[in-house]
Amino acid sequence: MPPSHPTDEDRPLAPETRLLHTGYDPRAYHGFVNPPVVHASTVLFNDAAAHVANAQKYTYGRTGTPTIDALELALAELEGAATVRLAPSGLAAVSLALMSCLSAGDHLLVTDSIYAPTRRLCDTVLKRFGVETTYYDPEVDADGLAALFRPNTRAVMLEAPGTATFEMQDVPALSAVARARGAVVLMDNTWATPLFFRPLEHGVDLSIQAATKYISGHSDVLIGTVAASERAAHDLTAMHRNLGLHVGPDDIYLAWRGLKTMAVRLARHQESGLTVARWLAGRPEVTRVRHPALPEDPGYAIWKRDFTGASGLFGADFAPVSDAALRRFLDTVTLFGMGYSWGGFESLVIKARPEEARTAVPWRGTGPLMRFHIGLEDPGDLIADLERGFAAMAASDPDAE
């Protein structure tokens, strides 16, 4: 059991403090500050009575170890969840969550801004198992979402902001529509982490994290988590058990370790991200920055109302530019790597392709949409790197604005 810390109603512990002191009690394991990394399949019963009654805290490596418990309990506390289950990747966590609440014949509503492999999962595996998916405008209001409901609509999936396009969603309003119709609400909350947004407090039932990103924070592990409300917990636990999902103890430990420094890392990602985003917004090569924590962003009001912070991932629409000039930009910057992940210590930039995915509302961008992840480097160095990139882009494409 985690230690209990004295709090009073006037001064509950801040989430930054709680995440350092939940999940595991050092007194339970000889005073070691971190939990043991238990490699296990076989667990022996103490005696025949325990065996016959199957009554022992741990009985098999797949169904629980002190390492699994530590991360699950810490995240349950942070998410305000009835239970948390671990999955071998963020995408596996999405699959687990969706499969826990859907059956053949069900209808699913998914935001058009969803992480692309989640869309592929819906369009292939779920379709094959008899679940039909309708994609909706990410900026739909409550009435618009209600109009899409069918008698068999069983679940609604949210993601805010969208991974590549950064639209915000009114999570409480959309969740209320779904709940009133008996549907389960799922949300991919990887961008904010449970430190900056707690989905279960806003009507969501299944809150998903690609812990690969900010929770782990060092680009060296894949892991996913699903946190469930009371009403979704039983089905989540059953599906997790039935699928036989398991995460190796070393990977769980890396996520646990990352969690301990997540608050300070996120503060830096937020600050540097806003610095670079504001700088980009002032550049002639950029027509629009997509970052919900900038007051000019259409999602700002919702972000300000519901979220307590912003991470380091945002988008920038470049003015129309030739492919060759864009390649020059990408090949000139050196501190920004080109890579699909994010949430680690390093800065990244990629060209997003929302126009290839959208089915509910066609994507309307002015030019290439670039997705930036601002890492832990000095923001002045990052801006100087981008300046060099823009100079090379202009030299290669002198007519571009």
Q: Spell out the residues 6+ positions from residue 372 whose beta carbon is closer than 8 angstroms to its own.
A: 273, 276, 277, 280, 313, 314, 315, 316, 336, 347, 348, 349
Q: How far is the CB of 162 from ligand PLP (least distance, A)?
A: 9
Task: Select which of 18, 85, 115, 253 is catalytic.
Answer: 115
When CB distances to ligand PLP are compared, the closest residue is 90
User: Under a CB-based contact definition with an 8 Å cutoff, are residues 360 and 135 in contact?
Assistant: yes
* DSSP code string of 148-169: T--TTEEEEEEESS-TTT----
**What is the distance between the alpha carbons of residues 375 and 217, in angstroms, rounded to a whole number?**
10
Are the beta carbons of 121 and 112 closer than 8 angstroms? Answer: no
Question: Could you please report the per-residue DSSP string of 276-287?
Answer: HHHHHHT-TTEE
166 vs 318 by CB, closer to ligand PLP: 166
Number of residues that bind ligand PLP (CB under 6 A): 12
> Which region among 34-42, 85-93, 140-148, 295-303 touches ligand PLP (by CB under 6 A)?
85-93
Where does residue 10 rank: exposed (0-12), middle (13-18), buried (19+ CB within 10 A)?
exposed
Pick 190 or 193: Cβ nearer ligand PLP: 190
Which one of the listed residues 18, 154, 213, 358 is annotated catalytic?
A: 213
Set 25, 62, 257, 327: catalytic member: 62
Q: Binding segment for ligand PLP among 5-13, 83-91, 133-141, 167-175 (CB under 6 A)?
A: 83-91
Q: In the Cβ-directed half-sphere of 372, how many Cα atoms lie within 13 Å?
A: 33
188 binds ligand PLP (CB under 6 A): yes
Say what the alpha-carbon torsion angle 96, 102, 107, 110 is, to the nearest 10 degrees: -20
Residue 188 falls in the annotated catalytic set? yes
Annotation marks residue 115 as catalytic? yes
β-strands 206-210, 224-228 pairing: antiparallel
Give me the amino acid identity at 382. L
Catalytic residue among 106, 112, 170, 188: 188
In the complex with ligand PLP, the residue whose CB is nearer, 211 or 316, is 211
**Measured between alpha carbons, how far is 213 from 220 in angstroms, rounded to an integer?**
10
**Distances from the Cα of 265 to the Cα of 202, 216, 261, angstroms:** 25, 11, 6
Q: State how far the Cα of 243 lies from the Cα of 239, in Å rounded to an integer.
A: 6
- Residue 341 binding ligand PLP, by CB under 6 A: yes
Question: Is residue 214 a contact residue for ligand PLP (CB under 6 A)?
Answer: no
- Indicate which single residue of 210, 245, 357, 393 sits in contact with ligand PLP (rule: CB under 6 A): 210
**Residue whose CB is less far from ligand PLP, 83 or 190:** 190
Please state the closest distance from residue 119 (CB atom) to ligand PLP, in A. 11
67, 89, 165, 207: residue in contact with ligand PLP (rule CB under 6 A): 89
- Cβ nearer to ligand PLP, comparing 292 with 389: 292
Judged by CB under 6 A, does residue 321 bind ligand PLP?
A: no
Q: Does 189 bind ligand PLP (CB under 6 A)?
A: no
Distance between first and last Cα of the chain = 60
User: Which range of residues in 4-12, 88-96, 166-174, 360-368 is near ligand PLP by CB under 6 A?
Assistant: 88-96
Task: Quote the least distance from Cβ 225 to ligand PLP, whole Å.
Answer: 10
Binding to ligand PLP (CB under 6 A): which residues in 215-234? 222, 224
Which amino acids are annotated catalytic?
62, 115, 188, 213
Give contact residues for ligand PLP (rule: CB under 6 A): 89-91, 115, 163, 188, 190, 210, 212, 222, 224, 341
